[in-house]
Amino acid sequence: MAAGKGLRAGQPLPKQFALWRGKPVLRHSVEALSAAGVTPIIVVIPEGAGAIAAEALAGIADVACVTGGITRQDSVRCGLEALAAANPALVLIHDAARPILPLAVIDRLCVALADHPGAIPVLPVVDSLCHAEADGQMGPPARREDLRRVQTPQAFRYAAILAAHRDWQGETNAGDDAQVAQAAGLSVALVDGDDALHKLTYSSDFGASAPAIRTGSGFDVHRLEDGEELWLCGVKIDHHQGLAGHSDADVAIHALVDALLGAVGAGDIGQHFPPSDAQWRGASSDRFLAHAVGLVGAAGYAVGNVDVTIICEAPKIGPHREAMRAALARIMSVPVEAVSVKATTTEKLGFAGRGEGIAAQAVATVVRV
């Protein structure tokens, strides 16, 4: 079922065709049904949505689209009628807005149809419930033990549910197909649903579709020169040379900034703090790192952990490692346990081995909040 307007989701097109985790919402459940061996698959779509539906479903075998009706019941009936030539024994009716469809739920529904003409997946109600009075006040409590949350797909013997929809005389739009079946005198079994069958309804559901964990990497190099201060990971180190650059040239923080920006797809340090901009001349790199952490937060993530490797022959990093970890943790407002600082040499090879400069690489992991 993909014939709704999907307006509450706040997407630029009906939510069933909007991207979610890299694919159109509709495609997720159709792929799951196809992988489960369900065939044929009828997708009921809004009028005029043929082209966008075809694009969303490209490459999936045994899928056909039909135009829905004015109400959900009209649209379901259109889909059921489209199956008449195939005349299947069983049919699943699923909402496209529930993109994650576990195979185990399909199995439980099909097993239940051996003894009942209909079966639906349900979940227990975990919150306390009450009736709402007309004046907005709390009414009598409702027994949550007697209630269940209903999901889809809903499974039926095909001939029985087709007849029920053809005979539907309800004055209002039924909430789901189980109500249509029940009105026709069909028994409907309850099977265990799955929390993964969450229905995408609001714009926040699409924000939450971003991956739970994302990772970025960064790399930077600066020259060592006489007369410069040496800053690494926000710590000033006594050394006979320092790093040259437009800012304080903290090569380790610069690599870490790029890693954080990369994790949330926010470009690189040069885009946010261009060397051509005079305001960043001599600037402390902790400002860059704090800005990157802010962009991570704005994207709906928090810093999980970071790992920085400094590549140089000198100075020795070991004596300063804990101070560096503490400085980075302070700037990013994370526990010091979330910060790793390591060092290595190039065995005297290359510019770092010759003492001409210092390189740093960093990996950052961010987690959705």
Q: What three-state secondary structure class fits 222?
A: strand
DSSP type of residue 247: S
pLDDT of residue 1: 96
Across the range 220-232, mean pLDDT stands at 95
pLDDT band at 334 (very low <50, low <70, confident <90, very high): very high
Directed axis angle between helix 321-332 and helix 251-263, to 10°? 40
Residue type, 181: A
**How many angstroms separate the CA atoms of 223 and 230, rounded?**
11
pLDDT of residue 170: 65
Provide the whole-model pTM: 0.60
**How many angstroms separate the CA atoms of 358 and 369, rounded?**
35
Is residue 243's pLDDT more than 50? Answer: yes
DSSP type of residue 149: E
Which tens digits make up the pLDDT trace of 53-78?
999 999 999 999 999 998 999 999 99
For the chain, the C-alpha Rg in angstroms (whole number) is 29
Half-sphere exposure (Cβ direction) of 151: Cα atoms closer than 13 Å: 26
For residue 112 the two structure tokens come to 């239940």
Q: What three-state secondary structure class fits 18?
A: coil
Is residue 283's pLDDT more than 90? Answer: no
Is residue 208's pLDDT more than 60? Answer: no
Which tens digits make up the pLDDT trace of 82-137?
999 999 999 999 999 999 899 999 999 999 999 999 999 999 998 898 989 989 99
| Residue 331: other Cβ atoms inside 10 A | 22
Residue 360 CB contacts under 8 Å (≥ 6 apart), including other chains: 219, 220, 221, 232, 251, 252, 254, 255, 256, 308, 309, 310, 311
Domains delineated in the chain: 7-207 (3.90.550.10), 213-368 (3.30.1330.50)
pLDDT band at 80 (very low <50, low <70, confident <90, very high): very high
pLDDT band at 9 (very low <50, low <70, confident <90, very high): very low
Coarse DSSP helix, strand, coil percentages of the chain, rounded to the nearest 5 percent: 35, 25, 40
pLDDT of residue 202: 74
Q: What three-state secondary structure class fits 82?
A: helix
What b/e readout covers 12-35, taking b as 16+ CB neighbours within 10 angstroms? eebbbbbebeeebbbbbbbbbbbe
Residue pair 268/294 in contact (Cβ under 8 Å)? The answer is no
Comparing 190 with 209, which gets the higher pLDDT?
190
Least confident residue range of 52-56, 162-166, 174-178, 309-313: 174-178
For residue 278 the two structure tokens come to 């005079």
Is residue 258's pLDDT more than 90? Answer: yes
